């Protein structure tokens, strides 16, 4: 593992906004939220909180649905970084303070990591990768008529073709995956990719 000579966390605008929201959370509800994320960190197939749980959790934490998603993403990223670097609680505390997380939240995160860090790392080691890998991406822009038949406006869409390969089927190629995005959907995807890119940058 690295000696953590560089910062553990990449402070993108989205990450900083997530930190701000975390700092505003009710400290009494925070430990259960964090524990759930830690216990589910190895499970890439399912989110830590399902849709029905998120509907209840948002108001309980005084968060909008988008704010709740960002809080969960930010805490997940923090836990993933701690796991990937096998970070000791003391170092994690220093790194959390460096990105302006409040001391009470830092303490809860470090206590949670002390309790669940080792089993979390073991689960991640045993986690199997997805059976399909991306080989190439093709894309083109498309215009289609707006849904309002009275309008002559055309809506731009991006069409992506993901060419994937099966790793568990003797190399037999999979059918290409076609995805269509409008502007707002593509922007949401960009935000997700920004989070992933910050994680990859921190590990490089």
**Which of 10-19, 103-112, 185-194 reaches the highest mean pLDDT?**
103-112
Which tens digits make up the pLDDT trace of 39-51? 999 887 788 899 9
Which tens digits make up the pLDDT trace of 134-145? 778 888 888 766
Question: Of 25, 177, 2, 18, nearest to 86 (Cα)?
Answer: 2
To which H or E segment does residue 158 belong? strand 154-166
Give the predicted TM-score (pTM) of the model: 0.63
Rounded Cα–Cα distance for residues 78 and 17 (Å): 14
Handedness of CA 77, 110, 101, 5 (dihedral sign): negative
């Amino acid at each position: 593992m690295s000696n953590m000579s560089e910062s553990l966390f990449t402070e993108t605008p989205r990450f900083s906004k997530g930190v701000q929201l975390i700092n505003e959370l009710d400290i009494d509800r925070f430990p259960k939220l964090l524990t759930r994320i830690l216990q589910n960190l190895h499970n890439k197939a399912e989110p830590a909180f399902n849709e029905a749980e998120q509907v209840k959790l948002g108001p309980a934490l005084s968060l909008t649905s988008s704010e709740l998603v960002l809080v969960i993403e930010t805490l997940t990223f923090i836990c993933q970084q701690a796991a990937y670097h096998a970070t000791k609680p003391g170092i994690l505390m220093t790194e959390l303070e460096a990105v302006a997380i409040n001391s009470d939240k830092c303490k809860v995160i470090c206590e949670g990591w002390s309790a669940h860090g080792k089993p979390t790392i073991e689960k991640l080691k045993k986690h199997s990768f997805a059976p399909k890998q991306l080989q190439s991406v093709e894309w083109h822009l498309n215009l289609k008529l707006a849904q309002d038949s009275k309008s002559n406006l055309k809506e731009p869409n991006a069409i992506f073709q993901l060419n994937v390969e099966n790793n568990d089927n003797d190399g037999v190629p999979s059918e290409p995956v076609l995805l269509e995005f409008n502007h707002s959907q593509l922007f949401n995807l960009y935000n997700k990719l920004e989070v992933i890119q910050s994680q990859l940058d921190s590990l490089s």
